[in-house]
Amino acid sequence: MRRRGRGATASAAVLLVLGLGLGTTGCDRGGNTDLGLALSTMNNPFFVGIKKGAQAEAKARGLKINITDAQNDPTQQINQMETFTSQNVKAAIINPVDSDAAVPAVGVANRADVPVVSIDRGVNGGRVGTTIASDNVEGGRLAARSLAAALGGRGRVVVLEGQPGTSAARERGKGFEEGVREFPGIEVVARQPADFDRAKGMDVMANLLQAHRGVTGVFAANDEMALGAAKALGSSAGGKVKVVGFDGTPDGIAAVRDGTLTATVAQQPELLGRQAVDRALRAARGERLPKTVKVPVVLVTRKNAAEFGG
């Protein structure tokens, strides 16, 4: 049995090597790559949006861009940065899987004197030209103001927080706190995590409704949780209880159009991608860049929802 096990391992290894070989020959052909973009994942429409923006900008400038997907694995990101440096790219854009774990990947580019800019998340070390990210804090403030306006400046509000420990959860929550402080009539009665997940948003909202009477407003740190909360609220969503989300996903925008969500704060992933290509090229020309570039977020309400599709 042991021998058979070894045979299986060997054949699995052969398959793996074949697979990797096919995978790498699939991209990287033709040479003369100008830019590299190492994405954390493409399992999420937001990052697909970044990819589209970066591709469009590179195409407009007649540049060739190599875009890789690390499948949320920081180690793969290091390998991909090594690929970029051996392709002699002018500059590399990294969308870190994790701000700490991306330091070695940035180190790879630094040693090869390839300028690096990061997108969506920062890098806690190495030399990074600039970090291009959505202004999540400002988005939180916008959400607070739009919720307060919908409530006429008075009401009892619950907050559905994102996955604890992520920068998006922290920054959006912080922005909302700051924004809501401008409205003394708004009372935040509970703040609970629902991990950016629709099903959890629904369950946590149902639980909070048991503990807190007279809730009139909800801020959810992403649209998925907002849609879950709206489901738990049933017919009072958009009526007695105003719900504001974040992200501007197609589902979220559709819900804004039909009135279940009062508003959502849309990020502009394609603009992020375009900006990243632009800043990476400036870094390659040796320009000095600000430490961070904040790409504005947009409040989507019933009035302007049509412009965002959905």
Partner 1 sequence: MSAEAAVRAPGTAPAEWFTRAVLRNGPLGGLVALVAVMAVLSRDFLHGRNLLNVGVQASVTAVLAFGVTFVIVSAGIDLSVGSVAALSATVTAWAATSQGLPVVAALPLGLAVGVVAGLVSGALVAYGRLPAFIATLAMLSVARGLSLVISGGSPIAFPSALNHLGDTLGGWLPVPVLVTVAMGLLAALVLARTYTGRAMFAIGGNEEAARLSGIDVKRRKLVVYALSGLFAAVAGIVLAARLTSAQPQAATGYELDAIAAVVIGGASLSGGSGKASGTLIGALILAVLRNGLNLLSVSAFWQQVATGLVIAMAVLLDTLRRRSTR
Q: Which positions touch partner 1 (CB under 8 A)?
A: 1, 4-5, 8, 43-45, 48, 161, 164-165, 190-193, 197-199, 202-204, 206-208, 210-211, 228, 231, 250-251
- Contact of 231 with 203, CB cutoff 8 Å: no
The secondary structure element, H or E, covering residue 3 is: helix 2-26
C-beta of 193: minimal distance to partner 1 in Å? 4
What length does the chain have? 310
C-beta of 57: minimal distance to partner 1 in Å? 22
C-beta of 236: minimal distance to partner 1 in Å? 15
C-beta of 117: minimal distance to partner 1 in Å? 26
Shorter beta-carbon distance to partner 1: residue 114 or 169: 169
What string of DSSP letters covers 242-295? EEEEEE--HHHHHHHHHTSSSEEEE--HHHHHHHHHHHHHHHHTT----SEEEE
Shorter beta-carbon distance to partner 1: residue 31 or 165: 165
C-beta of 194: minimal distance to partner 1 in Å? 9
Shorter beta-carbon distance to partner 1: residue 56 or 190: 190
Shorter beta-carbon distance to partner 1: residue 152 or 250: 250
The secondary structure element, H or E, covering residue 217 is: strand 217-220
Cβ of 129: how many Cβ atoms within 10 Å? 24
Fill in the DSSP letter of residue 132. Answer: E
C-beta of 202: minimal distance to partner 1 in Å? 7
- Beta bridge partners, 134, equal 295
Shorter beta-carbon distance to partner 1: residue 43 or 88: 43
Cβ of 56: how many Cβ atoms within 10 Å? 14
C-beta of 254: minimal distance to partner 1 in Å? 10
- Contact of 201 with 228, CB cutoff 8 Å: yes
- Contact of 277 with 93, CB cutoff 8 Å: yes
Shorter beta-carbon distance to partner 1: residue 8 or 27: 8
C-beta of 252: minimal distance to partner 1 in Å? 11
C-alpha span between 236 and 260 (Å, rounded):
9
Tokens of 151: 């409530």
Shorter beta-carbon distance to partner 1: residue 62 or 214: 214
Shorter beta-carbon distance to partner 1: residue 36 or 53: 53
C-beta of 175: minimal distance to partner 1 in Å? 17
Shorter beta-carbon distance to partner 1: residue 10 or 199: 199
User: 209, exposed or middle or buried, with CB in 10 Å at 0-12, 13-18, 19+?
Assistant: middle
Beta strands in 135-211 (DSSP E): 155-161, 186-193
- Contact of 248 with 265, CB cutoff 8 Å: yes
